[in-house]
Amino acid sequence: MTKLDTRMIDVSDKKDTQRLAIASACISMSTNTLRKVKAKRTPKGDVLSVAQAAGIMAAKQTFGLIPLCHPLLITSIFIDFSFPSKKTAIVIEATVRGKGKTGFEMEALMAAAVAALTIYDMCKMFDQDMTITDMRLIKKTGGKSGTYIAR
């Protein structure tokens, strides 16, 4: 039997710094579904408002869902939606800010993922072919490793 050595990283000696993380995800859907979302005409209500709230809630709960994440003091969460002109899709961008000893990447990724899953949940009754793709970290600042910007 293999002994696993899993533990949360000790950040006691790290200094608090201002931090930012931006993550995104994309959900593709039919033209008809996208039209319903934009018009706020779905049986479950305003899809993007609910997805925005769900993403915010998810970022705040990340430490309870990802086993080795630290609880962090989030000072700001912003979730934005855009509609690429050449696709029938919604791009979700989640920005999380705070001050802490470790980064906010997981909180931003969790916010983008749960917002996408919420859109899926609210639209699945008329579009089972939706796909969630391109979930990624776009940018992070703060901490010893400095700034990261995705290529």
Task: Report the catalytic residues.
Answer: 121
Cβ atoms of 13 and 87 within 8 Å: the answer is: no
**Of 104, 89, 96, 58, the residue nearest 75 (C-alpha):** 96
Tokens standing for 87? 């696709």
Edge-to-edge strand ranges of the sheet holding 131-141: 74-82, 89-100, 17-28, 131-141, 148-149
